[in-house]
Structure 1
Amino acid sequence: MRRLLAAALRASFARQRRRLRLRPDCAAPHARIGDLDIPKLARAVRGITALSAGLRDADLPRVPAVVVTADRKPTDAIRRSHTRLASALDAPLISWPDAAHNLQLDHPDETLATVRELLRRVKAATAS
């Protein structure tokens, strides 16, 4: 069953790569993501869930930040969660049209520009 699920996941990622027409430097990591260790991912999700259960907005650090999210409807649960996180961090919420879950691969130039802008903000904050 595990092999069947892994094969289906790889096939799904391959279809997504063809649909997204990823650059070669982004297609290779995308292919590796499709070979994920599902039991390890399940343990990580349980761990993150446990950690987040007691998380309070007030506990979040107040540092320059940005929240980048996939292109989802405003009513989507993940989008609402990212909106809440951005608000709690007093950070912008950024998304690009058609950005998927691995947006660093389907929007690499925009992601890099966002990281560079954040680093400029961090540098300005530490200089003052």
Structure 2
Amino acid sequence: MFVILESVDFWKFAAPLFGAIIAWFVNEWRKRVWEQYQRKEESYRELLRCLKGFYVSAQNANELRTEFLNQLNRCWLYCPDDVILKGYAFLNTVHTSNPSTDEEKEKAMGDFVASIRIDLLSRKLVTNTDLCGKDFKHLNAN
């Protein structure tokens, strides 16, 4: 009988402790998801703003293009592979050495923006990637 009472006393103390530990881990995970979402949203907002730099009539187009490239490079830190690959596909269509039609450019831009939207709506943490070092492209706006 004495052993059973000690066991009950142990669980009166241990159960709330385990509950608090689990709650702490869940809270930390939710904070991490929220912080990554905030970084992505900020970066995506800048990417969308800088898309204007790829239109012929845009003022300060070179600055916008440079900032677009900087933001796309930053996406390597916390964005899914699909967003990065579609960003590069868009850049490939607007590159001056690539004679893409306006329809191809619009489709590539639409695919890129759609992948951004899908990522933001999913609110998932990026935990793995299929990209490797050779996939990174150091591009210049000139």
Q: Structures share a fold, TM > 0.5?
A: no
Bigger proportion of residues as helix: 2
TM-score by length of 2: 0.27
